Structure 1
Amino acid sequence: HYTLTPTNLICCHFAGVLVTGASGYLGSHVVQQLQEAGYKVKGSVRNLEDEKKVKHLKTLCPEAAYEVELVQAELQNADSWKSAVEGCTYVIHTASPFPFSTPRNEDDLIKPAVEGVTNVLKACVESKTVKRVVLTSAGLAICGTLKGVDVSEKDWPEPAKLDPYAKSKTLAEKAAWDFVKELKDEEKIELVVLNPVSMLGPVLSTTMCTSIELIKRLLERNPMFLPKMNLPVVDVRDAAAAHVKALTTKEAEGNRHILCTQNLWWSEMAAILSAEFKSQGYNVPTMGVPKAAVAMASVFKKDAKQALPIWNKTTKFDNTRMKEVLKITEPREIKTAIIEMAYSLIEGGFVKRSKKYRGPHGKQEEAANGPTENGEIKEDSKPKEDGEVVTAGDKEEAKETGEETAAEGEAKTGDDSKKDDAGDASEAKAEAPAAETKEEGDPTSATSEENKTDEAKEEDSKAKEEPAQEQKAEDADKTEDKPEESGEKEATEESTKKEVEVNGEVDAGGDAVASQ
């Protein structure tokens, strides 16, 4: 997160920041970190009445000195930005149109992207209060196609060779630089551009966007086989931190900054997801696909056609300025970002919960039936042989029904063998009607009699109708021999209950931290 210094601490308490596209994937993280740093934050959204899209913005930082102020503005509505930037010292422009599929007309993306950035910049100049604008561009504006070369902030792609989305990001950034360059001296405002590559990490927003599409597809096993493709990636929280630091970093003014941590193959991301989620019911693809098969599919599938030029190629992005200028020197581990992103997609409803889903902290989530006890799910659990989970509730149920977990059964094997001889004698003397009642009322009695606990046996003996006098005598002898064992069992149960209560408090706190 953003680290306060004496200089920017003073700036924070007097500076207002407008974040455009505040409800988006990156925008939500930027708003959160600005609030944590003490800034007064405005967030622009397209529709204030869409509670589903804006509700989360009000709870991103409960301890913030200032509540986020939401304003309504649209990229192509110039007047809406005049009131949005009013009273602000800085603007972070993350808003940009994004496609869920390739549009038929590329201008549907390019026009609002270019007009949006120029409308925001014009409003900033007219405000007389905005000093600096931080523009979120993209790695695609550095290298539109991942063609397997090393690139830096000096590189620009050829717009004519780009797909509509990459072209919209490239032309919007060019429009911003051209606009600032043509300003008169008395109108000058500072411009900083950030170029994040593919972002990974937890999703705070409630709406779908292109950034989360890859991990969503892998969890849903789409595609079934993995192409040999490589992606440059960065944690969204590191990208957000870079935006906050770009507001007050003097050396950042007038420059582009690549935001990239490392490169990952699709197969590496899939392996991370499979290790975490396979036991939770998500069959993440892990097998590759031959290039020849992709070439054949490219005849009728656009995705396959786009994959061929970048097949088995690694494009390295120079992140020197991110480290040396913006001081993002210890980026988060990408493995953690992938796992946290996947959990947030499931928790947020972007990906369907499986019946085996346990949750971010190992909770046994019952997607169909809901939680098990008083609205909470007990977490004193361990894996069974079949990959399911044994909870504290399972143990209590086992004691009541006479069933045991594998571990408990092994521990009691010795005791059960000692009891078999005495038990055989008593069973032989039991009356036939009583035996028939047991078979009809308890389908497991024929197979699990030896595995029953002492308490269950005592309950069975009480339920019998007029048991033989010899059986009563033998049961009485057994009861006298086991007072210590019964006391130890009660103490163990009491200890287990206390342990579950403590674990529940710890995990509840962990859940709160994770959700923030």
Structure 2
Amino acid sequence: MAIVLVTGATGFVAGHCVRELLEHGYQVRATVRDLDAVGRRTHLVELADRLGGAVEFVQADLTADDGWDVAVKDCDYVLHVASPIPGGGEESEQAMVEAAVEGTLRVLRAAAVNPTVRRVVLTSSIVTVNLGHDVDKVCTEQDFSNPDRLTGYDKSKALAERAAREFVDGAPSLGFDLVTLHPPMILGPLLHPQTNISHEPVIRLLGRTVPGSLDVGWSTVDVRDLARAHRLALETPEAGGQRYICGGEHVWMREMAGILAAEFGPRGFTVPSRTLPHWLVKLAALTDDTVKRVVPALGTRERVSAEKARAELGLTFLPVAQSVLDTAESLLTHGIVTAPAPRRWTRRRRTA
């Protein structure tokens, strides 16, 4: 039975990768930053019990060298899903870049001295493909974002992929090859009460913490499809050395609002239906970092092609409406968004 190391196993994507691997008979070893934080991995233990598998937990932090040799030892494959995100603010950009780059190199160095490792799959991002280009076009795996035109998280992901490829290309005698996956907005159900930035539009629309939709749209992928892409990237011999965009159907935020309103309106939710003007969004961005991040994308469609992943990995994508609704149901189940209180009707007293 092949052993697969999954880094950052308590994260949203990594948890679904663990599930996918267990469902297909793999033995899973999972890194966590703190072995004593048992509560953060309870859902994975329960998942393994339900699927009849087992997950071995090891302690390893991307910001430190300790633990990685032990984590990788005897593994056949590595899914490097984790990506450290230090605190916000401009002063943290260098720390974010260093953490992403050095963390990726720590995993690769550990794999390099372990003769059993055959392939490393790196969870990158669409931001390493489709940003900073002078020409408006449909981006493919041939495109690389220019890190000099990026900031913050986007820059850290681009430089981490570059560092990974330079490491592998500079050591031709390595016993493993590298595959990188490039997902856009990741939707789908939570395995435990932990969200990421991709959940924000659904959280804000369903929780009505915004007065309307922003004029933005995204290529999307369901986390269950993305987990499957990780497994397929391990199992497809021809995938070695390749990049794969894992971007499915595009959705505008206003379309997302319509999907949510149709399902949850009859259940008492009031989902805002209007689209906010650009000037108002830019004003809100002055005090909201999440909104600030999408201002450059106002009015633009995210144009990427996943034909390579479809053709070479056999990847398919769930309909975006299903992903949006499953995300919403999951947010309610885990208490991230609360249902509105039932309306109380009072009978008016008739007066003479």
Consecutive unaligned residues of structure 2, counting only runs of 5 or more, are none
- Say yes or no: does 1:167 pair with 2:155: yes
Aligned residues of 2:332 and 2:338 also touching (Cα < 8 A): yes
1:242 aligns with 2:229: yes
1:66 and 1:348 map into 2 onto residues whose CA distance is 24
Aligned partner of 1:374 in structure 2 is: none
1:225 Cα shift?
2.0
**Rounded Cα–Cα distance in structure 2 between residues aligned with 1:333 and 1:113:** 32
Asked if 1:23 is matched to 2:15, the reply is: no
With the length of structure 1 as denominator, give the TM-score of the two structures: 0.63
The one-letter amino acid paired with 1:113 is: A
- Aligned letter for 1:354? P
Matches of residues 283-302 of structure 1 in structure 2 within 5 Å?
283-295=270-282
Match of 2:165 in 1: 177
Contact kept in structure 2, 1:234 and 1:260, CA below 8 Å:
yes
Q: What is the aligned partner in structure 2 of residue 89 from structure 1?
A: 76
* Residue 63 of structure 1: how far off its partner (Å): 4.7
Task: Tell me if structure 1 keeps the 8 A contact 2:260–2:324.
Answer: yes
Residue 62 of structure 1 deviates from its aligned partner by 3.1
Q: How far apart, CA to CA, are the structure 1 residues paired with 2:273 and 2:87?
A: 25
Q: Counterparts in 2 of 1:304-453, with a 5 A limit?
A: 306-329=293-316, 331-356=317-342
How many residue pairs were aligned?
345
2:49 to 55, 62, 73: 62
More displaced 10-residue stretch of structure 1: 127-136 or 289-298? 289-298
Give the letter for the 2:324 counterpart: I
The DSSP-based 3-state class of the residue aligned with 2:300 is coil
1:203 is the counterpart of 2:193: no
Higher relative contact order (CA 8 A, sep 6+): 2
The answer to whether the Cα contact below 8 Å between 1:16 and 1:40 also exists between their aligned partners in 2 is yes
Look up the match of 1:383: none
Name the SS of the counterpart of 1:88 in structure 2.
coil
Which structure is higher in helix share? 1
Q: Are the structure 2 counterparts of residues 153 and 33 from structure 1 closer, same or farther at C-alpha, using a change threshold of 3 Å?
A: same
In the alignment, is the contact (CA less than 8 A) between 1:52 and 1:206 conserved in 2?
Answer: no
Q: Structure 1's 71 and 234: CA in aligned 2 closer, same or farther, altered over 3 A?
A: same
Q: What is the CA distance between 1:180 and its match in structure 2?
A: 0.4
1:272 is aligned to 259
Contact 1:19–1:42, Cα closer than 8 Å, also in 2: yes
Does the aligned pair in 1 maintain the 2:77–2:234 contact within 8 Å?
yes
Q: Residues 180 and 188 of structure 1 are in contact (CA less than 8 Å); yes or no, is this contact kept in structure 2? A: no
Q: What is the SS of the residue equivalent to 1:199? A: strand
Residue 60 of structure 1 deviates from its aligned partner by 1.6
Alignment check: 8 A CA contact 1:28 1:205 kept: no
Q: Secondary structure at the match of 2:325?
A: helix
Instruction: Provide the C-alpha distance between the structure 2 equivalents of 1:108 and 1:286, rounded to a whole number of angstroms.
Output: 39
Whole-angstrom distance in 2 between the partners of 1:47 and 1:336: 35
Matching residue's letter, 2:232: K
Looking at structure 2, the residues matched to 81 and 321 of structure 1 have their Cα atoms a distance apart, in angstroms, of 32
What corresponds to 2:142 in structure 1?
154
Percent sequence identity over aligned pairs: 36
User: Aligned with 1:113: secondary structure?
Assistant: helix
Q: Counterparts of 1:501-512 in structure 2 under 5 Å?
A: none
- Does the 8 Å CA contact 2:15/2:191 hold for their aligned counterparts? yes
- Single out whichever of 194-203 and 72-81 deviates more from structure 2: 72-81
| 1:41–1:198 distance in 2 versus 1, CA, 3 Å | same
CA distance in 2, matches of 1:27, 1:239: 10
1 CA distance for matches of 2:89 and 2:268? 32
Greater Rg over alpha carbons, structure: 1
Distance 1:297 1:198, change over 3 A: closer
Give the structure 2 partner of residue 33 of structure 1: 20
Q: Note closer, same or farther for the CA distance 1:351–1:36 as it changes in structure 2 (3 Å cut).
A: same
Cα deviation, residue 313, structure 1: 1.2
Match of 2:98 in 1: 111
Kindly state the Cα deviation for residue 293 of structure 1 after the two structures are TM-superposed: 3.5
Query: Which runs of no fewer than 5 residues in structure 1 stay unpaired?
Result: 1-13, 357-385, 389-446, 448-516
1: distance between equivalents of 2:227 and 2:245? 13
Distance in 2 between residues matched to 1:56 and 1:301, nearest whole Å = 32
The Cα offsets for residues 329-370 of structure 1, whole Å up to 9 and x where unpaired, read as: 3x21211111111111121122234334xxxxxxxxxxxxxx
Distance 1:159 1:117 in 2: 17
Give the whole-Å Cα distance in 2 for the aligned partners of 1:34 and 1:298: 40
Give the aligned partner of residue 213 of structure 2: 226
Q: How far off its partner does 1:140 sit? A: 0.7
Task: Decide which moves more: 200-209 or 23-32.
Answer: 200-209
**Offset, 1:200:** 0.5
Whole-Å Cα distance in 1 between the matches of residues 285 and 197 of structure 2? 22
2:92 match: secondary structure: coil
Deviation at 1:209, TM superposition (A): 2.4
Q: State the shift of 1:154 in Å.
A: 1.1
Among 242, 249, 261, the alignment partner of 2:248 is: 261
d(CA) in 1 for partners of 2:286, 2:42: 44
Structure 1 position 120 matched with structure 2 position 107: yes
